[in-house]
Every structure is written in C-alpha cells, then in structure tokens.
Amino acid sequence: MTQRDYYEILGVTRDADDDTIKKTYRKQAIKFHPDKNPGDKAAEESFKELGHAYEVLSDPQKRAAYDQYGHAAFDPRARAGRGGGGFGAGGFHDPFEVFREVFGGGGSIFDEFFGTGRNDPSAPQRGEDLRYDLEITFEEAAMGCEKEITVSKPDRCDACEGSGVEEGSKTRTCPQCHGRGQVISSRGIFSIAQTCPQCSGAGRVVEKPCKPCHGSGRRDKKSTIKLRIPAGVDTGARLRSTGNGSSGLRGGPPGDLYVVLHAKEHEIFQREGDDLLCEIPVSLVQATLGAEIEVPTLNGNATIKVPAGTQPGALFRLKGKGVKNLQGYGHGDLHVRIAVEVPTHLTAEQKQKLMEFAAACDENVNPISKSFFDKAKNLFR
C-alpha cells in the first residue's frame, strides 16, 4: 500500500521551518478533529495521518531519517536490513496524545475554539466581587451622605497568612493530576478534562492544611466600610468600593465590593429624574381670591403666589429646587401642583351663605363650566 508523503499531508514544503510545521498542523488538526466531525470516518483518518506526519516532521532526528529514507525509515524490516539503522524512530504515538501535547489541556477541540483552557492552577487568583444592598432615605439620595456598613466576607486567614498550610507543613504536587489541576479521561475518540477531585484544581495538595481555615487560606470576617454617597443618586445606582471584596487566593489581589442603593419613597415629594413634584392643597377661598402660600423644598420652605382664579391641577415651577444632578449639571426643578380643597362638614349658617353666594353669581363667574356645557349642547344637536 502506497503511503502519502508527510509533507503533502501537512501541506508544507520540504524546507518549511519548525514554526511553520507547527502552525500548519494546528490549523489542519482543528479542521479534521473528530470532535468537530462526529461520525466522519474520513476526517478521523485524516486526523490520524496528520498526527503521524507531525510527530515525524516536528522531531529533528525523525525528520532527517524521513528525508533520507522516506517511510522505510520507520519500517522495522527495512531497519533490520540496514543493520538497525541507528536513527531509531520507533513506533508512533496516539494521534490524540500528539494533539494534547501541541494544544495543551485536555485536548478537546473546544478548548481551542472557545478559550476554555486553564491557566496555571497554582498562580495567584483575584478574589470574588461582592454585592451589598443598602437602603437609604429619599433625602440621603437627593442630598448625599456618608454611611458605614458592616460586611461579612472571606478574608485572609491570620493563622496561615493566606497560605492554607499549617506552620511547618509543606505542599507537594498533586499525585493524581501531576500539577495540572485537571484529569483527562478518554471515551472512544473523545477526551474529557475535569477538575481534579483530589486537589480541587489547585495542582498541589497540602500535607497539613491550616485548621482554622480548613486549608482554604480564607476565613469569614466582618469589616466596617465607610461610604460616601454622592448627591443625586437613585434606586439602582451602584457604588464600587475598590479592594473591599473577597480576599484573593495564593496572594492574589482582593475583589471589589459593589453597593446597590435603594432609596425609600417620600411622603410629599415624587421624583422624576432630577425634578421633584409636590401637590399642595389650597382652600377654595385662596384659589378664588388668590394668596401667598408656603411650599416645602429639600432646603426648607419657599413662598409662591397663587393668582386669583387658580384652577385645580395648575402647575407652578420653582427653578433649581429639585435634585442635584449626579454628573454635576446643576439642579432639577420643583413642580408644585395645586389641589383645591372642597369644604366639608359645613354648618347650617355656612351652607346658607354659600347658597346666597351661588344665587348672586351669573354664568360669567364660571366660564369653564359655561364653555363645557355649550359644547355638550352642540354635541346632541
């Protein structure tokens, strides 16, 4: 049976350097890997051919032998006819093992595609970010304030100074995964990488773990953190407290603490962005004759003039009396809505006077009512 030329299988010239051979193999191996071509026997055979070709051409001794003798360099019968040959290429390795050596990790093609390969399991690891939900008052959100919060979080163990190792003890390479942090299992044409159960992916095991932290290097501790809440925040705003998350592993930096704010509702004010809305009740007499009334603001009371004949729902704007803009663009406005209060629980004398007032009024006293009923008459004609 005629065997294909190894340079032809890889698709490189005979003078190709080692880097070109490796890059070409990686590209071709990904293309024909069985994980990408499930059930395709032709792709599987091509993958195996690529493995054999790369194993020979990536090894200087084997490549030199192949260049001189061709495929006969690896034929035991041909070597015997030459008195042993001396270049001793030996048998081929499993092509999946060749793939694992080139790509690292568990050899799954999806590690290459999606970047799921692991970093050094013994390297320092950044601590986790944490979330803390904080409720504040309406005024605190609008005006800003300072707060102290107490957070329970994983922090460096004082007993072992974060090493997870009892004093005088040592760590050693995990005997099950040999320091890789993963164990490889082969199932047919597939190779599956899983976190090592003995070292939990650390790559090393401790002879005597620190008892207070059970070898983790961290213990839960309570920390008091001061926060400055800027004026103008609202519900959903997030504040980042750098370095106040979980402590890092193996000397890694700590994570951050994210504080999510929840502002309470106010009894008087409603907030719309940087603007405030406030509804003020006025008496029938004040709305009819006009008056000066006091309205609350975030910075004390202010006075507005209500003109004579003011109707219910009328809006008055107090410029700059709203919430400070979080980005520093001034303040919003306060919008005051007038609610005319209708008298209740009238005495007989008060009712009589109102009836006399109504009798003294003509249609010009209530122009809005006159206009409405004129329109209603035209509607049914």
| pLDDT at site 122 | 59
DSSP assignment of 100-127: HHHH-TT--HHHHHHT-----TTS-BPP
The model's confidence at residue 373, banded by pLDDT at 50, 70 and 90, is low
| pLDDT at site 89 | 38
pTM: 0.59
Copy the structure tokens of residue 32: 């024909």
pLDDT digits (tens, 9 = 90+) for 303-313: 999 999 999 99
Q: What is the DSSP letter of 185?
A: E
Given a cut of 50, whether residue 95 has pLDDT beyond it is yes
The model's confidence at residue 273, banded by pLDDT at 50, 70 and 90, is very high
The model's confidence at residue 108, banded by pLDDT at 50, 70 and 90, is very low
Structure-token match 């294909």, residue found: 4
Q: How far is CA 2 from the centre of its chain?
A: 57
Q: For residue 201, count CB atoms less than 10 angstroms from its CB and return exposed for 0-12, middle for 13-18, buried for 19 or more.
A: middle
In whole angstroms, give the CA distance from residue 303 to residue 271: 21
The model's confidence at residue 196, banded by pLDDT at 50, 70 and 90, is confident
Q: For residue 74, count CB atoms less than 10 angstroms from its CB and return exposed for 0-12, middle for 13-18, buried for 19 or more.
A: buried
Please, what are the domains in the chain? 6-114 (1.10.287.110), 130-170+207-263 (2.60.260.20), 269-342 (2.60.260.20), 348-381 (no CATH)
Other CB atoms within 10 Å distance of the CB of residue 48: 17
In whole angstroms, give the CA distance from residue 216 to residue 128: 14
Given a cut of 70, whether residue 361 has pLDDT beyond it is yes
For all residues of the chain together, what is the average pLDDT?
83
| pLDDT at site 77 | 57
Given a cut of 80, whether residue 42 has pLDDT beyond it is yes
Residues with Cβ within 8 Å of 69's Cβ and at least 6 positions away in sequence, in order, are 78
Check if the beta carbon of residue 170 is closer than 8 Å to that of residue 205: no
Given a cut of 60, whether residue 227 has pLDDT beyond it is yes
pLDDT digits (tens, 9 = 90+) for 43-72: 888 988 998 899 899 888 888 888 888 887
Given a cut of 80, whether residue 107 has pLDDT beyond it is no
The model's confidence at residue 91, banded by pLDDT at 50, 70 and 90, is low
| pLDDT at site 110 | 46
In whole angstroms, give the CA distance from residue 321 to residue 339: 20
Q: What is the percent of the chain where pLDDT is above 70?
A: 83
Amino acid, res. 245: G
Nearest to 153, CA basis, from 131, 176, 123 = 131
| pLDDT at site 80 | 47
In whole angstroms, give the CA distance from residue 160 to residue 140: 42
